[in-house]
A and B are shown apart, each in its own frame.
Chain A
Amino acid sequence: MNLRSALASIARESRGSRGRLLFFVACLALGVAAIVGVSALVEAVRAGMRAQARELLGADLSVSAYRPLPEDLALQHQLIDTEFERTEIRELATMASSSKNGRSQLVEVKAVGGRFPFYGALGLEPAKSLAELLTPETCVVAPELLAPGALALGDALSIGSASYVIAGIVRDEPGRLGLAFTAGPRVFLSLDGLARAELEHFGSRIRHRALFRYADETKLHGGDLQSWEWLLARVYLKDAEYLRFETYHDGQPTVRRAVNRVERYLGLVALLSLILGGIGVAMIVRAWIAERTQAVAVLRCLGFRPREVLVLYAGNVVLLAALASALGGLAGSFVPLVIERWLDELLPTGVELSWQPLAIVRGVWLGIGIALVFSLPPLAAIWRVAPARVLRQEAEPLAAPRLVTWGAVVLLAAGIFAAAWVQSDDLEHAAAFTGGLGVLALLLGAAAFGLTKLAARLPRERLSPYLVHGVAALARPGAGVLGAALALGFGVLVVLAMALTERELSTKLERALPADAPTTFFVDVQPDQWTDVERTLGAHGATAIEKVPVVTARLKSIDGVDVEDTRGRGQGGRGRWALTREQRITWLDALPSSNTLVAGALWSDPAANELSIEEGFAEDIGAKLGTRLVFDVQGVPIDFTVTSLRTVEWESFQINFFLVAEPGALEQAPHMVLGAARVDETAEDPLQDELAKVAPNVTFLRVRAILAKVRAVLDRLALAVRVLGLFTVIVGLVILAGVASSTALRRGREVALLKTLGVTRLGVTGLFATEFALLGLVAGLVGASGAFALAFGFLDIVLELGPELPWHWLPLAAAATAALAAASGLAASARALNTRPLESLRAS
């Protein structure tokens, strides 16, 4: 059979199945729309970031570090053949206060010496350049600082030991994106202005940054920007490990990572909708093949081999799937536009959304693939059709070859795995997703199966006629009841599990603070400032005041091997980060209660400088008991031996460190103090204002405010998940409606018969509603139980939160599912319900 006649016969076959078309298309299109929506959104954000990459960084190259940049950076730039501009920047989080009302606030200071930004523009008021607005005596601030009744243009703002006149407002700053987590509103200063604050003198943690703009990238050494970056980082600048290089090609790494995470997570949630659509497709195909058994037998008589019949029907599925996926893709591609219009707070600012044809292509391929693999198991029934059926209806079905039945199942699993891989771009995630789904499907299937069996055994004598009918319908073998329950249950499970987890996390965050946990932290306190800080704390009723010394250091070598050469020994990106970042070490006599020793003994070796390391961190850097670590503490190498490993309950909110040194080893090193205290929420503002005067360099962190911010981010993600979860429930209901309508013929006869027997139209509606509601109840119960189990497992075992779940949601969810199922089932049976009694005579 050649391709043309194959296509022709496929086109012919689709004629007889127009009724089913709607449900097929609806199931698949919804899933594809979810997939395309997510991927179009992500692609659009990425494309926006690419298009504005230079504006996001504001430069061609940025070099930064938490210490002054090396002279070599300037020297190397003297050797290049192209003109360039350099702008110096200092960034730090610090407290700002106003003498006008005595209020203070944590702000993000950016001190700029030179032109900024090189690309893009700041949205400034008045409309001048930043350089024009900034003098050593002025600042430019974000509008959040100018809350009504607080500050206005021309007022003074104090930072450190200096005061600045607010000369302008920055409404828009490229590269400062909504998805990223910020400590506070932006304040721009000039470099000279920052020097006046004398914060460096107090030892504040300052990020030094140099921005470069090159007239001609091709004249850089290496011939392009990326090679130049590589040469600088790896060859020209010695000991450059502490320097961070970013070119505009890298985009904004934090935003990029956030986007990748969102893509992976939401991508898989969207895939769930599509997979449910796949279940719908499988059920529709099964009903379709069952109806076509006679036609299959005739085709077999005419000399079609089973695989040729399969091609015929699978081809049909593909054609339909292509149509449905195209529709879904089209619908999904509007998602970014909808979000831009109504939900723009979900998006990073400055990202413009555009049409994403690639996202549609990907969604359409996934849609066709999922439809195909899900139709294979029901299509395997083709092998079971005996050609002899053309002579005798009751001809024994043939045994399908094992290869066919198992092959179909294997292909299905492989297809889901491949789709998960495409969506998450990560083998492990894909495997976990597929495996988890398989287990869930088995459990849900077993539960639904058990309940239908139970329904069959239920003594029916005492039930009302409505219930008898409903229970009988549940127990009726085949008819896709199990599949519909499974799909709907899955939808309920997804939505409810998400809602439960989100709710629990949200409430936990709201009252997250254990009774004894500190509510405020004081960062970068100079040792000689502590007495003042402590006195101020006492005056504001603070309790549980704690302080620990902090030494910043850099890991130099592990067991004599330079960290430079150890890279890759740790695990993945976190290992590398753990090796090269700036470490904070404290010293303690005894461990706080939130620490548990798991190996070795604390301060047990009188001969060495001892170190206790958090277990996970030790794994990251590849350290064990007895490992020798050398730290560079402000230029002085200090030798340590690891003598104990411990675990830390981070969620206790106590001050904790990955690295704790033996007392005596670091006392001589320059250090700062990290303080913590418990303060009433009402006392936080006055305390902050007072501290800004007493110790202006100290950064005041309010845990409650940070938790609120985390919650806001969580809420955004939860909203997206809820929308996608809704898709899964809708797909489940569509499938149910599909099952109802695929049995419309049988139902029509039933209705006619019932009406002949004298049941009113309302009565018949009641019978059907009971049947669908029972199905929904079963699906809702099974799905909701699964959701509770999943949420409880995740919260209790993975997050160890000791969740208090709202168990009364369980019956509510089941009841709601029952109501929805009854509604959608009745809607799909509307035609059958209108059948006239006369037709029962005709049918016979």
Chain B
Amino acid sequence: MTVPRIECRAIVKRLPSGSALLTILDTLDLAIEPGEFVAILGPSGSGKSTLLGLLAGLDRPTSGEIRIDGERIDTLDEDALALLRRRKVGFVFQSFQLLGNLTALENVLLPLELAGVASARDRARELLAAVGLGERGHHFPSQLSGGEQQRVALARAFAPRPAILFADEPTGNLDLATGARVLELLVELRSRENTTLVLVTHDREVARLADRRIHLRAGRIERIACGAAASA
């Protein structure tokens, strides 16, 4: 039996809200296989983004265990988590999160340089070309449209060939057509690079493309649906 790429057992996340503790995630178990595309669905406040943050090692659970490739990450310190992200994890965010003082090309270069990739510049150009922005590398984020910015973010996320990509509402800030194009690119790049994809969305259309759909409600898994393109 293969080791799951991501595995979590009985994770609980509580956050202080005023004087009380608010339970965001309540005793959740989940395993995601290598190369799998999982969508996490649920209404606002159901704990989708919090779960994503925990799985990606951006945040720590109140209790429970999280493993990536069999390694416990909930016990790692900040430095070790940073190194783990550097080696294995890529991100795409709803609000793009490009660094405003870097050009598109430099944004894509950043994780490559951090990882010490030898031909970083070539790889960055290749990815920008793959998202259709080969000629826009010298532009700053403020000079790009929202869809273009998100495509740069896609290029940045895939550039260091992460084993896992976490996407948080990647089309949430885009209009329908642009969103569709970005999503198309995301799925295409994922297949090409054989990346495990964990995608948070409240859009059922987007989730349709996933291998598995995990529905959250009030911090618990409500149901899990399997099979790509299943009925919404």
Contact = CB atoms under 8 A, between A and B. Distances in A.
Nearest to B111: A302
B13 to A, nearest CB: 11
Interface string A374-414: 00000000010011101110011010000000000000000
A1 B113 contact: yes
A453 interface: no
Interface string B85-103: 1110101010001011110
A238 to B, nearest CB: 73
A298 interface: yes
Given A12-B101, A302-B110, A304-B114, A388 B78 contact: no
Contacts of A307: 79
B15 A396 contact: yes
Contacts of B116: 1-2
Contacts of B16: 396
Nearest to B168: A391
A391 B93 contact: yes
B225 interface: no
Interface stretch (B52-60, B123-131, B184-192, B211-219): B52-60
A295 interface: yes
A305 B59 CA distance: 15
Given A16-B100, A295-B100, A391-B49, A301 B91 contact: yes
Interface string A740-771: 00000000000000000000000000000000
A302 B168 contact: no
A388 B78 CA distance: 12
A5 B93 CA distance: 25
A303 B82 contact: yes
A295 B85 contact: no
B106 interface: yes
A604 interface: no
A13 interface: yes
Contacts of A663: none
A9 B110 contact: yes
Q: Is the interface on chain B under 10, 10 to 19, 20 to 34, or 35 or more residues?
A: 20 to 34
B10 interface: no
Interface string A287-304: 000000011001111111
A15 interface: yes
Contacts of B58: 301, 386-388, 390-391
A306 interface: yes
Secondary structure class of chain B's binding surface, majority of residues:
helix
Given A306-B78, A388-B58, A388-B59, A5 B97 contact: no
B230 interface: no
Contact of A304 (B82, B84, B106): B82
A398 B15 contact: no
B83 interface: yes
Interface in B41-83: 49-50, 52-53, 56, 58-59, 78-79, 81-83
A312 to B, nearest CB: 10
Given A9-B110, A388-B58, A305 B79 contact: yes
B113 A300 contact: no
A303 B100 CA distance: 18
B148 to A, nearest CB: 18
Interface residues of A, number: 32
Given A9-B110, A16-B101, A302 B86 contact: yes
Contacts of A303: 82-87, 89, 111, 114-115
A622 to B, nearest CB: 59
B106 A1 contact: no
Contacts of A386: 58-59
Nearest to A394: B15
Contacts of B168: 391
A307 B79 CA distance: 9
B101 A15 contact: yes
Contacts of B100: 16, 295
Contacts of A396: 15-16
Contacts of A306: 78-79, 82
B149 to A, nearest CB: 13
B101 A392 contact: no
Contacts of A305: 78-79, 82-83
Contacts of A5: 113-114
A398 B49 CA distance: 18
Interface string B147-181: 00000000000000000000010000000000000
Q: Output the residue of B58, B87, B116 with the most chain A CB within 10 A.
A: B58
Contacts of A8: 113
Contacts of A301: 56, 58, 85, 91, 97
B93 A390 contact: yes
Given A304-B114, A396-B15, A390 B85 contact: no
A300 B82 contact: yes
Nearest to A12: B102
A396 B100 CA distance: 24
A387 B97 CA distance: 12
Tell me which of A2, A5, A388 has the highest count of chain B C-beta atoms within 10 A of its own C-beta. A388
A390 B113 contact: no
A745 to B, nearest CB: 15
B70 to A, nearest CB: 20
A391 B53 contact: yes
Nearest to A1: B114
Nearest to A6: B113
Contacts of A302: 85-86, 91, 110-111, 114
A386 B15 CA distance: 14
Contacts of A391: 49-50, 52-53, 58-59, 93, 168
A361 B110 CA distance: 34
The residue among B15, B79, B101, B115 with the most chain A CB atoms within 10 A of its own CB is B101
6 contacts: A1-B114, A5-B114, A299-B110, A303-B87, A390-B58, A398-B78
Interface of A: 1-2, 5, 8-9, 12-13, 15-16, 294-295, 298-308, 383, 386-388, 390-392, 395-396, 398
Given A303-B86, A303-B115, 18 more contacts: A12-B106, A295-B101, A299-B99, A301-B56, A301-B85, A302-B91, A302-B111, A303-B89, A304-B114, A305-B82, A386-B58, A387-B58, A387-B59, A388-B53, A390-B93, A392-B49, A396-B16, A398-B78
